[in-house]
Amino acid sequence: MNSVSNMLFLAATILFVGLSESNGQDEVCTNTRGQFKYKKEPYFCTDVQANKGLCYKHKRFPFKCPVTCGKCPCEDNQVKFTSVLRGDINCRKVARKKKYHCKDKDVMVNCPFTCDMCYDSVTSAPVPAPAVECSIVAELSFPSPSSIPSTGYHDASLSVVKINEDETCQDGITSWNCLHSGKAAVSKGVEGYNDYSTHEFAHIISGKDGTFVFTASHSQYTDMFVPSNVKILINEEEKARVDHNSIEDISIIVKCDSFCNCVIEDRSSCALRAELNFLEPGSENLEFGYHRDDVEVRKIGSDELCNKDTIGDTSWGCTHGGLAAVWNPENTEYYDYHHSAVVDVPNVFGTTIELDVRHNFNDFELYYEKDHRIQGILSVYINDQLMGEYTHPMNKNADTHLASGMVRTTYKGNYLVTAKCDDSCNCQVVKANY
């Protein structure tokens, strides 16, 4: 036997003995009967059977549980197969761009040898460990139609953004390897006719070193409202479930490090609401006369304004309703009124919102001597928590108009309230007069 044959025979013998001793059994390709550890945590092959995602987490799992992980023997599929992400492909094609193709789980299952998923005790040179898997799946679903009391149809949508990436995962596949599929909807007909409930998915192939924002939105133009829920799975293991019980959007943040240690934050709400109002007519501290203030909203980074002329909502979700004005005549027989303006921005995570309040000059202010002292009150809320109440300065001796009827340009009726919120919905609200 020549030296090369001797070396191959010796390597094969060592490989056989090493695998047999490690598994504690007489045959190479059998599951470990006892307990083994990964990162100091104890595992049995029954644990791997219950969570097949472990087979792709680290090569120790298929080595200890080769039967469970389908690695007996560890050979590539010799025929063409279909991958959800890569289409029809074979292992020879995978080998040409191994680093790219082997991120796909379908490819890893069919080409374990090419993708370095086999555990080799003897190698001719040191081989780096296979990449840590970090599959993230979000599933949006509705309950069974049988549990819904009324008939009708309702749907919702799921989208994902990756921090520092421009492309949103909401239809098809993104350049950062997020696959969106399905449509979440529920329908209940009369006597079971046309009953169905469908799911929607977003699958991030590798979430390592990434921060992702999953947003679920209920449709507002359907027959009925049905609560839904969002499940987050990391490497096929459910890590979080968030109920979506209101018409407002919910957001879930997933942050993962290079070892797929992920932190999940339920960002169900970070909503800003602002109400511009006045004291009711007849109130003891309200001067007689007329006063009106307007509020305009800006989101830093967007050119689109949200004000009294806005129809529906802006592209960043802001709605504006009403005009803030009060008419408090001295003669109680006259008609009086006070109206408010309300602004809603449902999602202010990581954004800065400016509320620009300006006095609206009007000829009605010429009839009473002290209505220039009237002050509107802007109340700002984050998630229904009052952050502060703001108003323009008291103009005790400076009327809104000159004796000629012209507007007094020095009247102090404008101010800016800025709400700056971070990614955790910690918000600072400050006011500045101008």
pLDDT tens string 39-80: 888 888 888 877 777 776 777 887 788 777 766 666 777 888
Q: Is there a domain that residue 129 lies in?
A: no
Q: Is there a domain that residue 246 lies in?
A: yes
Same domain, 308 and 194: no
For 54-175, where are the alpha helices, taking DSSP H only?
Answer: 60-64, 91-96, 98-101, 105-110
Range of the domain at 180: 136-267
Q: Which CATH number covers residue 155?
A: 2.60.60
Same domain, 173 and 284: no
Residue-level pLDDT at 267: 67
Same domain, 354 and 423: yes
Q: Is there a domain that residue 126 lies in?
A: no
Compute the distance between CA of residue 372 and CA of residue 355 in angstroms, rounded to an integer. Answer: 22
Residue-level pLDDT at 134: 92
**Chain segment 112-134, per-residue pLDDT in tens:** 778 776 644 333 344 444 456 89
Same domain, 155 and 91: no
Same domain, 63 and 157: no
Compute the distance between CA of residue 66 and CA of residue 333 in angstroms, rounded to an integer. Answer: 90
Domain final residue, candidates 208, 235, 267: 267
Same domain, 11 and 100: yes
Same domain, 331 and 417: yes
Q: Is there a domain that residue 115 lies in?
A: no
Q: Is there a domain that residue 116 lies in?
A: no
Same domain, 81 and 99: yes
Same domain, 220 and 279: no
Same domain, 418 and 317: yes
Q: Is there a domain that residue 121 lies in?
A: no
Q: Is there a domain that residue 369 lies in?
A: yes
Compute the distance between CA of residue 231 and CA of residue 19 in angstroms, rounded to an integer. Answer: 39
Compute the distance between CA of residue 230 and CA of residue 218 in angstroms, rounded to an integer. Answer: 12
Same domain, 233 and 316: no
Compute the distance between CA of residue 105 and CA of residue 433 in angstroms, rounded to an integer. Answer: 58
Stated as kind and residue range, the H or E segment containing 298 is strand 289-299
Residue-level pLDDT at 92: 87
Residue-level pLDDT at 128: 46
Residue-level pLDDT at 117: 64
Same domain, 216 and 336: no
Residue-level pLDDT at 256: 93
* pLDDT, block means (10 residues), the chain with 434 residues: 36 32 41 81 83 75 77 73 81 84 74 67 41 86 90 93 88 89 90 87 93 90 89 92 82 90 81 91 80 93 93 89 86 79 89 94 80 88 92 83 81 93 88 89
Number of domains into which the chain is organized: 3
Residue-level pLDDT at 327: 82
Sheet containing 272-277: order of strands: 319-321, 341-345, 272-277, 377-382, 385-390
Domain final residue, candidates 201, 236, 267: 267
Domain final residue, candidates 267, 287, 320: 267
Is pTM beyond 0.85? Reply is no
Q: How far is CA 229 from CA 185, 189, 265, 305, in A?
A: 12, 22, 15, 33
Q: Is there a domain that residue 124 lies in?
A: no
